[in-house]
Each structure stands twice: as C-alpha cells, then as structure tokens.
C-alpha cells in the first residue's frame, strides 16, 4: 500500500454479445491501461467475458467452451501483470451453471465466487440459466487446468488489505453477502453487475451503494455492464462507482459508447481506524468460516494520489451551509440552555475581546437567551482592556455588545496587573510569559467574581484548536463554568461567525465583518508603533488551517505523522511549501502531547462535530505521554 491507500479500478469495456475472443481483447486493453495507471485491483462487469445478455445462448456448449478458452487467453495476456483482475463468466460444474466472478493475478486463477441471489422478474430470468451459490457445497473446482477455491466465503488478502466479492443482485437483498464479508475482514467489496436503466433507478442505485459502503465501513467498487450489451428490451449505461465509507470518490460517465476505466484510491487505514473504534462492529459476525486467498503484493508502493483532500475537514460544504450552521448553533445553544436553566443562574458572564472566539460565544449566549425567553440584559459582557488591547478590537467589542442589546461592563486591568507585578517583584518591562499570563488570569478572576456578584455562569470562549495546542493560560482563559466553543475548531469558528454576519442587522453585520478581518491574537503584548496588533497567534504557533487539518487526522483516525504529512502535502500543495507543512506539523505534535495536562481538567462543553478533546468522553490521554518521534516518522 502507498501510505495506507490501495488503487482500484472499475472497468467498463467495449463488448460484443457472445463474442468472447473480442471481449477478452478489449478487456486486455483496459488491463494494460490499469497497469500503466498503477491500479492494484481492476474489476470488470458481470459476465463480462460473454456478455450479460446472452440469454438462452448460455445453454450452448460452444459459448461455454469459448468462455473458458477466452479465460485461458486472458491468463496468458496478464501473466506479466501485477494487478489483480476480476472478471465475470459462466462456469459449469457438473450439471449446474453458475454466474461467477473469477479472480486472476499473474496469469493464475486465485478463486471463483458464484452469485447467490438470482433475479427472476419481468426483466431478468437468471434462474432460467443459472444456479444459486446456495445450491452447492462444493469448495473447489477444476478450471483452466488447475484446482481453484470456489465459494462465497473467499477473502482475498495480501496481509495489508483484504477484499471480497458479491454480484449485482446480491447487493439488493435485505442482508447482502458483503455485510458478512466486511465483518470477516474485507476492507473493499467488489461488485460485478449488470444493472439496466429505468427512470429514477440510477439515483436509488447510488444511494444503495453509498449506504452499503457506509454500513460496512468499507470501500465499494461497482462495475456494471455498458453499451455493448443487447438492447432488445432494456438498456445498460455502464455504471462504474468507487465509494469509500459512504462517499463516492469516482464515477463513470453513463451511456458512453467508449470504454472506460475509472481509477481512484481507497484509504484502507482510514477504514480500519473507523472499524477499530466501533466496538459493535463485529457483533453480528456469523460463525461461518472464510477461506483466505493470498495475493501477491502489487508492488505499486509509490504513486501520486488521484484524490484531493479538503483543506478544511471541519468546515461543512457551502451547499449545506445554512443547515450545517443552524445545526451547530442549535447544539451549542442546547447545551448552554440546559446548563443555564439547570443551575438557576440569573445571568451569564462572558469576556468580550473583539476577537473571533468571544464573538462566537456571545452569539451563542444571545441565541440561548432568546430561546429561553430571557431578556438579553441577563447577558453580562465585559471588556477588559489591557496592555495589548488595540482601538480596533476595543471598539468592535463595545459596539458589538451595544448592537446586540446586552449588559456592557468595562473593567480595565492595567492597574491591577501592575500591582500584581509589584507584589511578585516582576519588572513590567519584561514581556515574558509572566507578563502575558498575569493579564489572562486577572481577566478570569474578574469574570469569576462578577459571576459571583450577579448569580451568573462564566461562559468560556476558548475553542477546540486552542485546546489541542494548549494555547491557553492555565487557570486563566483555560477555565470557565461552561465552555460553549470547546467542540468548535478555529476554522469552523470563522465559518460560523461569517455565516452569522448575514443573519443579523446591518450594524452588527458590519462589526462582525471587521472582526473577521482582524488578525487572531490574545493581545497580551503592547501594540506596535502604529497602534496595530503586534502579537499574531498564527505567526507564533502556525496557521490554524494546518493545525485543524493535523488535529482532524490525528484524533479522528489515529494516523501517524508520516500519513498526516502525506495528506497535508496533498491538500495544501498550492498553499504551503512541503518544508513549511513539516515544520508546523512537528510543532503541532510537540504541543499536542506536552499540553495534555491542560485538557485533563477543562470545563464542561458541548461536542459539536466528529471529534472532541474532553477528558470525560472522546479523548483520554496520559498527561506525561511521550510525543511521537518526528525524526523517525518523516
């Protein structure tokens, strides 16, 4: 495998009904193309050697003999290929005929899988010609001059990934064979099919393949008969689909008269990570035994990915923006509403800096008050200007609170901090971590004490990305009574605030637009000579879009640093140089491990997406674990 990926192909060849020699020659063309594109498994449609629509010709001795002769020829043509080839053909065993998938590699037949569920309706009469796999207990057959495994319980594996096969109608039954295949270890399901076209059927088919792939937590490769089939009564469109855990990553052009090879990569490590985290995954595994068929390594260990990766995995697609943002806000509001009403608090208290995080927290507080029918004046927003506060952020904080109609308090912290410096004998001219953290802790003390005065809850503003990096002052902004943003990464914070800006009045929208354009900063160091922010977070810890990408793949799938770097280079190829990505990944890994002690005691807060870092649920990690070695991994 290449960084956990396997390259697969769904092949839709040019075809003539009952012309096996012609069909094999055209299949060989696509196999050579697949080899050139470094495909490791190439799957052809159902009965692809003869054609699916041969009907009563399947009873003809000549067609069956031609099919086996063509298989022999295909073996010779593919003797020097490394890819695994899956073809469809009729196979006669004694007095029965089976619709089968034949698996080849290096010119040898590795196994034969018969179809289990045979359609017998107004369009298809397979039971007229073929027997179901359930009608025989034969486990091996003689084909192409050698004995080969036969059955529906064959699992093909090279030790790194495994696949199994089902045929067409097998997918359309209540419990497809692929369900058991996956439970017994198949990472990818290959389906040789011949599905005709009807109005609305294609949409249903795509949903069916997506759902089965997701239900099995598997890759699914679907190759269906194309335009060369007979159109006596129905039409075939040549559907080729490559799906990974419910998501289509590649699809053919339907109704094409040209042969097609749909090639893409399936992330086996991602599938295995999801299965490992699902403790119920194998609960329904049958006692049926599977026969493991050994594959030779296809040797294609290095290739450029066909897939592109989203730079912002936490951010919903723009096509579903309204629905996604409303749902995220509803989760945050639902969490805070329960906590506010449960504690019988009169107020909520939130520090407003004029930055993104506190803005999102304030918006959640406002929506929660409205949902509960509370006066917005029960929200106490406090701006606490310090040594690094700029006019821009101060004005945005004040103006936003006024536009939203909450209670506004202003409590400067400079004098209190200077007194503290004096108490601990610290030179205020030394702008070190003491200088910075003093301000953060002073602000938290004010928030907590005001909450005591006003029977309130302190609402945390820190986000998931800051928690991952430990970019918070311990017992400063690290602490609150309910952290509404704790499950929201920085890239998603920006997305939510941007969306919210279009939901508010013109004045509030203008303020939010300026907040979005303001550099991310804790503003704990003095402004520059122009009065602008001097301390920019992303200059210090790195771009949040990179860190969110690293966080997603580290926590969600448990990928190694090498795999994360590989994916990041793919996603950010046009944004950052490789050495820049590697630099920030090293910093992320170091900080993520070193700062776990802060996450071990973070406040309650609602989980929003697929990952969270709460020590009570999603993420349980020892605070003194050794960070992964980047030198040996990269």
- DSSP sequence for 448-473: HHHHHHTTEEEEE---HHHHHHT-S-
CB 70 within 8 Å of CB 51: no
Query: Which of 3.20.20.70, 3.55.40.20, 3.30.2040.10, 3.60.110.10 is the CATH number of 5-294?
Result: 3.60.110.10
What string of DSSP letters covers 179-202?
Answer: HHHHHTT-SEEEEEE-PBP-TTHH
Distance in angstroms (rounded) separating the CA atoms of residues 221 and 201:
18
- The pLDDT score that the predictor gives to residue 226 is 93
Instruction: Determine the Cα–Cα distance for residues 589 and 381; give it in Å rounded to an integer.
Output: 35
- Is the CB of residue 403 less than 8 Å from the CB of residue 362? no
| Helical residues (DSSP H) of 454-560, grouped into ranges | 464-469, 490-501, 506-517, 537-540, 544-557
DSSP one-letter code for 377: G
| Residue ranges of the chain assigned to CATH 3.40.50.620 | 318-541
pLDDT at 299: 56
Asked whether 623 and 596 are in contact (CB, 8 A), the reply is yes
Q: Which CATH architecture has domain 318-541?
A: 3-Layer(aba) Sandwich (3.40)
Token readout for 193 is 């099919």
User: Element (H or E) spanning 157, and its range?
Assistant: strand 154-157
Residue 339 DSSP one-character state: H
- Mean pLDDT per 10-residue segment, the chain (634 residues): 91 97 97 95 98 96 97 94 96 96 96 95 85 96 93 95 97 96 96 94 96 97 94 93 97 94 97 90 80 80 82 94 96 98 98 97 98 98 96 96 98 97 97 96 98 98 97 96 98 96 93 94 82 84 96 96 95 96 96 97 95 93 90 48
428's CB contacts (< 8 A; 6+ apart) are 417, 418, 421, 435
Task: Please tell me the pTM assigned to this model.
Answer: 0.91
Catalytic residues, by residue number, are: 46, 115, 168
User: Taking the CA of residue 169 as centre, how many other CA atoms within 13 Å lie in the half-sphere pointing to its CB?
Assistant: 17
Please report where in the chains the tokens 């020699």 appear, as a residue. Answer: 21
Enumerate the CATH 3.60.110.10 domain ranges in the chain, comma separated. 5-294
Q: Supply the DSSP string of 83-120, one letter for each residue.
A: SEEEEEEEEEETTEEEEEEEEEETTEEEEEEE-----B
Contact 105, 32 (CB under 8 A): no
Token readout for 414 is 């400079």
What are the residue ranges of helices labelled H in 184-264?
201-216
pLDDT at 633: 45
Measured between alpha carbons, how far is 167 from 181 in angstroms, rounded to an integer? 13
Confirm if 21 and 70 have CB atoms less than 8 A apart: yes
Q: What's the pLDDT at 634?
A: 43
Q: What is the pLDDT of residue 302?
A: 66
């Amino acid at each position: 495998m290449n960084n956990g990926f396997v390259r697969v192909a769904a092949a839709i060849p040019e075809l003539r009904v009952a012309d096996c020699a012609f069909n094999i020659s055209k299949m060989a063309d696509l196999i050579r193309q697949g080899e050139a594109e470094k495909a490791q498994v190439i799957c052809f449609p159902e009965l692809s050697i003869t054609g699916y629509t041969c009907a009563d010709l399947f009873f003809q001795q000549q067609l069956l003999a031609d099919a086996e002769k063509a298989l022999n020829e295909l073996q010779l043509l593919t003797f020097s290929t490394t890819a695994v080839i899956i073809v469809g053909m009729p196979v006669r065993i004694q007095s029965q005929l089976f619709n089968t998938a034949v698996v080849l590699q290096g010119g040898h037949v590795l196994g034969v899988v018969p179809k289990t569920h045979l359609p017998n309706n107004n369009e298809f009469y397979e039971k007229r010609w073929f027997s179901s796999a359930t009608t025989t207990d034969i486990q091996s057959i003689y084909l192409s001059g050698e004995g080969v495994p036969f059955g529906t319980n064959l699992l093909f594996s090279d030790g790194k990934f495994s696949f199994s096969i089902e045929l067409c109608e097998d997918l359309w039954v209540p419990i497809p064979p692929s369900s058991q295949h996956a439970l017994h270890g198949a990472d990818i399901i290959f389906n040789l099919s011949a599905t005709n076209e009807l109005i609305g059927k294609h949409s249903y088919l795509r949903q069916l393949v997506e759902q089965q792939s997701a239900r099995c937590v598997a890759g699914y490769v679907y190759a269906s008969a194309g335009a060369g089939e007979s159109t006596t009564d129905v039409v075939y469109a040549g559907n080729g689909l490559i799906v990974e855990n419910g998501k289509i990553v590649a699809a053919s052009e339907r109704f094409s008269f040209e042969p097609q090879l749909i090639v893409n990569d399936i992330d086996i490590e991602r599938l295995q990570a999801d299965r490992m985290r699902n403790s119920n995954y194998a609960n329904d595994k049958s006692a049926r035994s599977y026969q493991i068929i050994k594959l030779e390594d296809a040797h294609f260990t290095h290739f450029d990915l066909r897939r592109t990766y989203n730079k912002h995995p936490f951010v919903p697609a723009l096509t579903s923006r309204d629905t996604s943002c409303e749902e995220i806000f509803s989760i945050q509001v639902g969490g805070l509403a329960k906590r506010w009403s449960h504690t019988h608090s009169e107020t909520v208290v939130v520090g407003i800096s004029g930055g993104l995080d506190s803005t999102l927290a304030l918006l959640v507080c406002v929506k929660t008050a409205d949902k509960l029918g509370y006066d917005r004046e029960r929200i106490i927003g406090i701006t606490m200007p310090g040594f690094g506060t700029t006019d821009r952020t101060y004005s945005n904080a004040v103006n936003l609170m006024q536009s939203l109609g909450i209670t506004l308090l202003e409590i400067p912290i400079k004098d209190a901090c200077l007194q503290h410096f004096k108490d601990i004998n610290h030179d205020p001219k030394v702008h070190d971590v003491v200088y910075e953290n003093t301000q953060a802790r002073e602000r938290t003390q004010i928030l907590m004490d005001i909450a005591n005065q006003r029977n309130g809850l302190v609402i945390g503003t820190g986000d998931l990305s800051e928690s991952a990096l430990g970019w918070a002052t311990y017992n400063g902004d690290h602490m609150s009574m309910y952290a509404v943003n704790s499950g929201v990464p920085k890239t998603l914070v920006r997305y939510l605030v941007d969306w919210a800006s279009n939901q508010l009045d013109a004045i509030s929208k203008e303020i939010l637009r300026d907040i979005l354009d303001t550099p991310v900063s804790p503003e704990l160091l003095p402004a520059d000579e122009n009065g602008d922010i001097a301390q920019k977070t992303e200059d210090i810890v790195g771009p949040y879009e990179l860190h969110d990408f690293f966080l997603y793949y580290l926590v969600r799938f448990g990928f190694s640093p090498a795999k994360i770097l590989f994916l990041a280079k793919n996603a950010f190829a046009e944004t950052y140089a490789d050495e820049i990505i590697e630099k920030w990944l090293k910093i992320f890994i170091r900080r993520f491990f070193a700062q776990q002690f802060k996450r071990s005691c973070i406040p309650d807060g609602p989980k929003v997406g697929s990952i969270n870092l709460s020590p009570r649920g999603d993420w349980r990690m020892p605070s003194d674990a050794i960070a992964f070695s980047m030198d040996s991994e990269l």
